[in-house]
Amino acid sequence: MSAVPSLGLTNSSVYMPQLLEIVDVRVMSAQEKLFTIELPFSTSLMHKPGQFLEVSIFGLGEAPISISSSPSRSVHAFELCVRCAGMLTRAVHQCEPGDRIGIRGPFGRGFPIERFKGKDILFAPGGLGLAPLRSLIWEVLDDRNNFGQVTILYGARNPSELLFRDELDEWAVRDDVELYVTVDNPDADWSGNVGVITTLFSNLRVSPRNTVAVTCGPPVMYRFVLMELLGKGIPEGNIWLSLERRMKCGVGKCGHCQIDHIYTCQEGPAFSYAEIRHLEEALR
């Protein structure tokens, strides 16, 4: 056959999940749980921060979930922070330690952390956006000497939706991390900042030429956060974001995650603003 390259007949499939065991489940909020999943034979996931996995329970389908643990902390096991948002994730939430779930990946292009070295890093996650950025945050903090100032601006709708609260406490007391947290709707116990994430930018001082900003959050957040970051003078190529799309297959075939002429699961989900600003559909 002339048209198809001579790849031999095979009995393997890119759609074949591995069944891996959940070894720990932590409740993060009313909607989110953190699952620790064991890797067989003490292997490492070999992922990059920003990459994702296809998670499945047979009978309920498959969905892309970003990897929440850093490569530096994903030997023997990795973590997924899952929001209960649909049929599959509802079933995942019912899983307990000892249950096995289907895993494929890692897929996609993560953040090019080697290009961030020597620079100040400004993280701006909103809501569940902390789940993928946490992977990058720990990767940076576990190699702290190779980065300049580290600042984390985190916004959530209300205090009960703040994720990774013990880690937020840990970052808050570290003197090599600056953490600012805000909520849109405070409750009686909240004594911190109030307002959307962009309110945290007003007193922020950055050296724009030496700063890499990384943001991840709901689609509606990006336009406003980007305006702040560009307003600070951070170059377009140093502003990174992770775009959410319906990455059904993870291998660049199914078409669901298309943005203009690119597939998010192949060329993203991590993109610099310079890479996507010319794409019509990127920031809808």
Partner 1 sequence: MLLKILSKSDLPDAVERLGQRYRIIAPMLHEGQTVFKELLPGDAPDMEYRTTPLPPKKALLPPREELIQLQSTNGESRLEPVLDVQPAVLLGVHTCDLHAIGLLDKVFTEGVPDQHYINRRRLTKIISLECLEPCSEHSFCKSMGTLAVPESFDLHLTDLGSDYAVEIGSKAGLNLLWKFFTIRDAGDDDYARLNKAMSEKWSRFNYRLDIDATELPGLMSLNYADELWEELGQQCLSCGACNLVCPTCFCFDVQDEIDVDLRSGVRTRVWDSCQLARFALVAGGHNFRIRRGDRLRHRFMRKGKYIQEMYDRPGCVGCGRCAQACPVDIKPLDVFNRLAAGHVNQSEMKKEAIV
Identify residues 137-196 at the interface with partner 1 (CB under 8 A).
none
User: At closest approach, how far in Å is the CB of 191 from partner 1?
Assistant: 29
Contact status: 209 vs partner 1 (CB under 8 A):
no
58 binds partner 1 (CB under 8 A): yes
Pick from 33, 47, 83, 134 the residue near partner 1 by CB under 8 A.
Answer: 83
Among 109, 206, 266, 277, binds partner 1 (CB under 8 A): 266
| CB neighbour class for 99 (10 Å; exposed up to 12, middle 13-18, buried from 19) | middle
As measured in angstroms, the least distance from the Cβ of 120 to partner 1 is: 30
Residue 109 touches partner 1, criterion: CB under 8 A: no
Candidates 38-46, 130-138, 156-164, 253-261; binding stretch for partner 1 (CB under 8 A) = 253-261
Tokens of 102: 């289907």
Residue 59 as a binder of partner 1 (CB under 8 A): the answer is yes
Tokens 């001082």 locate to 205
- Minimum CB separation from partner 1 for residue 143, in Å? 30
Cα–Cα distance for residue pair 265/182, rounded to 1 Å: 31
Q: Which is nearer to partner 1, 84 or 206 (CB)?
A: 84
60 binds partner 1 (CB under 8 A): yes
- Is 4 one of the binding residues for partner 1 (CB under 8 A)? yes
- 24 sits near partner 1 (criterion: CB under 8 A): no
Q: Which residue is associated with the tokens 């939430």?
A: 93
CB 25 within 8 A of CB 35: yes
In the set 33, 47, 119, 245, which binds partner 1 (CB under 8 A)?
Answer: 245
Residue 255 found at the interface with partner 1 (CB under 8 A): yes
Site size with partner 1, rule: CB under 8 A: 52
Confirm or reject binding of residue 253 to partner 1 (CB under 8 A). Answer: yes
Residues that bind partner 1 in the complex, under the rule CB under 8 A: 1-5, 7, 9-17, 19, 56, 58-63, 83, 85-86, 89, 100, 102, 128, 218-219, 244-246, 248-249, 251-256, 258-262, 266, 280-281, 284
